[in-house]
Amino acid sequence: MTGRGRLVPLLLAAGVVVLALGWVVGFTLSVGGLPSDPGPSSAYFVMVAVVGTVVAVPWAFATRMLWRDHRRTTPANQNDGPATLVALAVATLPAERRDWGLAMQAEVSGLAPGATRWRFALGCARAVVLVPRPLSRRSVGIGALVAALAVLAGLAGGAAVPGMGVLLVAVVGLGGAVLARSVRRPGGGRGAGLGRPVQVAGLLAVGACLGAIAYFLAHYPVAAAQLPPVVAVGVAIMLAGCGWLMIDPPRALVADRLVGWVAVTSSAVLAIGLLVLSRHRVATRTGLGDGILGYLYLVPSVVIFLVAAIAAMSGRSFRAGVRATVWICVLTSLLLFAVAIVEAVQWYRFDTRLILAGDGVPLSAVGENLRNFLCGMILLPVWWLPYGVIGAAAGGSLLHRVRGVGTGPTVAVRG
């Protein structure tokens, strides 16, 4: 095995370990940190180790499948770090500099592997970052308009609902910048390839998240303590990023309309399921001590696994299943956040309980609902994603066997 052949598995393993540790730390912070009275016992750390293993094992399988698919479908002359780095840098260039970028790609492909090749690639990336970006009058005007709208939204939102001011400023500012860039950039608007229903559903889901936060803070202003400016800006970045994915997704995530419809339908079903479960528990007073934690982790994982397998079979492509997984995870995370935050108000009104795990808390701690689910917008998709990748591989393998082509975990990618 070559040096690179030995290095890649080690890097993938290290990445999985770091991801699992990060997930455990993020979950610990989302529920308030380490227990303080009494302090954490040895059993607590055993439980943390178990949770980390449960996160790491599916990701270990998923990363191996993704890496095998990458190696099988990427041409040999592009399957190296320097060429990939230059390609990523060139993809960010404006149209008037694209010829220069193509020349750099051609030059890096002619260099021998080694330090010289890496130095050239890093130099190209640095040049792209430092390339001058002249501002036209139109760009300045759009920027000023977006800034004015952001300030007005922040003032109006902050006056109406305490704690919403900084969040609305950041969301409108970042969202306006994303929209302006996608409209002006050549080739922008690739989200149309997903179908308008996906774009509309995604943008409505982003709006639903903002509405749910405002609804929660309007009922419990004390919860604004969980949304300081730094956190508000972080939430705005996440929501603006989701909006960018819907408006102008990367080429690797552009899928056919069937995948888009599957993603919208699956995420809507999961959100409705959570709403029905919550209302049933409040109406019957059963399961209030358990919360909705089990539903959030188990049900979407199963649904995403099955849907990814079906998408891979119908699209005759492992990557079709992976694309379906990504879109379902994004839409489901947004919709479940909106539903859970709105339902959290009902749970606290009914029995002064947090909706996530059913903990009874005083009014001063009701904001923990918001903290839990803001962290969940990152933690939950990371939990679901590997099951979708494994499902896509399972669907590809099953299609191979049905068609008598082979028994590999992936199938040929069309197009």
Contact 201, 269 (CB under 8 A): no
Are 80 and 153 contained in the same domain? no
Residue 360 bridge partners (DSSP)? 353
Are 99 and 152 contained in the same domain? no
Cis-peptide, bond into residue 134, ω within 30° of zero: no
The number of folded domains in the chain is 2
Are 117 and 168 contained in the same domain? no
Report how far Cα 158 is from the mean position of its chain's Cα atoms: 28
Range of the domain at 212: 137-403
The two structure tokens encoding residue 364? 């001063």
The angle, 0 to 180 degrees and rounded to 10, between the axes of the packed helices 165-184 and 196-219 is 170
Are 385 and 260 contained in the same domain? yes
Tally of CB atoms within 10 A around 1: 7
End residue of a domain, out of 99, 130, 161: 130
> Would you write out the chain's pLDDT as a tens digit for each of its 415 residues?
444 556 677 888 999 999 999 999 999 988 888 877 777 788 888 988 999 999 999 999 999 998 888 777 765 555 567 877 788 777 766 666 777 778 888 888 777 777 788 888 888 888 777 766 555 666 667 677 778 888 888 888 888 898 899 999 988 888 887 777 665 554 555 555 556 778 889 999 999 999 999 999 999 999 999 999 999 999 999 999 898 888 878 777 776 777 888 889 999 999 999 999 999 998 888 888 889 999 999 999 999 999 999 998 888 888 889 999 999 999 999 999 999 999 999 999 888 889 998 888 888 889 999 999 999 999 999 999 999 999 999 988 877 676 654 434 444 444 3
Are 157 and 91 contained in the same domain? no
Are 257 and 379 contained in the same domain? yes
Are 265 and 282 contained in the same domain? yes
Are 215 and 294 contained in the same domain? yes
Note whether residue 62 is domain-resident.
yes
Instruction: Please state, in angstroms and rounded to a whole number, the distance separating the CA atoms of residues 94 and 188.
Output: 12
End residue of a domain, out of 130, 156, 189: 130
End residue of a domain, out of 130, 162, 180: 130
DSSP assignment of 302-360 = HHHHHHHHHHHHHTT-HHHHHHHHHHHHHHHHHHHHHHHHHHHHHHHHHHSB-TTT--B
Note whether residue 409 is domain-resident.
no
pTM of structure: 0.83
Are 177 and 299 contained in the same domain? yes
